[in-house]
Amino acid sequence: MYRKSMWDEIGVAPDTWDNVRKGGAKLKTKGHPVGISLGHSNDPNTTWRGLLWAFGGALQDESGKKVVLDSKETLEAVKFVAALYNEAMTSEVLSWDDSSNNRYLASGVGSMIINPISAYRTFQKSNPKGADDTFVMVPPKGPARQIMGGSAEYYGIWKFAKNQEGAIEFLKYYADHWPEAFKASEGYNNPCFANLVPKPMPILSNDPTSTPSDKLAMLQGSDAWSAAPGYPGPSWPAVDEVYNDFVICDMMAKAAVGQLSAEEAVKWAAQQSEAVFKKWQGS
């Protein structure tokens, strides 16, 4: 999401990663840097995977058996993130958690963040005028594709749960009443299956609290440009461990601050990932 008036002023639309870098550099000189976390939290984990895929790189191959992180595509992605950080962002993003970019947007300083619409909803409550100037868009295009990491939530029932039947009935009821849950989340929790909330979706297709009211409409098609962490392969324990060890985030951050060269950062991340894959493949 981005502040439309700020980007309009410099005549650049943040619709490609290259434009985000170039426009962000201009806006930084005006006191409105781009804000994308390079810390250890969920948002950067999904964001930097999205950028990695947009440049044609990936953690693993389609089979999920081979780490393919050490590639020229990954190297270009890492070099880009280092440039984006140094030209368009500030060092505070290195320690951000998932709420930091929300506050950054609401402060009126940030020109662009990448976040679920919770940041927009928070801004609406604190500064309706600023929220009206905040627009939501599909992910920026990269050299290879237009894609972003998705964050999924799962519900399960422990074997040792004392009321398993009650829990099962609750989940059945929850699944059967998805539209109501979707409305209650103000359009935040998108359904994992299209038929749960048919299009046009409530709120996203027509949100009376937004100006214009169809500002969030493109999110109805988020399945077309969202991917699970294992893309283009399956999500399995090794992918999960690499995710929760923040290997991709650290690869980007190490190069961004100059702790490692881009080439060294890629090789470091590939080695870390290969060790994790080897452990799980042998278990």
For residue 202, is it within any domain? no
Is residue 193 in some structural domain?
no
Neighbours of 39 (CB within 10 A): 19
Q: What is the pLDDT of residue 21?
A: 98
| pLDDT value of position 283 | 77
pLDDT of 116 over the 80 cut: yes
DSSP lists the bridge partners of residue 83 as none
Residue 172 resides in a domain: no
- Residue 33 domain flag: yes
The answer to whether residue 185 is domain-embedded is no
Q: Cα(156)–Cα(36) distance, rounded to whole angstroms?
A: 32
pTM beyond 0.85: the answer is yes
pLDDT number for residue 152: 83
Q: Identify the band that residue 195 occupies on the pLDDT scale cut at 50, 70 and 90.
A: confident
Rg (CA), the chain: 20
Mean pLDDT across 112-130: 95
**Per residue in 132-176, pLDDT tens?**
999 999 999 999 999 999 988 888 999 999 999 999 999 999 989
Give the model's confidence band at 186: pLDDT under 50 very low, under 70 low, under 90 confident, else very high.
very high
Domain assignment present for residue 101? The answer is yes
Asked if residue 200 belongs to a domain, the reply is no
Residue 210 lies in a domain: no
CATH number at residue 129: 3.40.190.10
pLDDT digit string (tens) for 35-82?
Answer: 999 999 999 999 999 999 999 999 999 999 999 999 999 999 999 999
Note the pLDDT of residue 282: 87
pLDDT for residue 153 = 83
Measured distance CA(62)–CA(64) in Å, rounded: 5
- Domain limits at 80? 2-151+228-281
pLDDT value for 243: 98
Domain total in the chain:
1
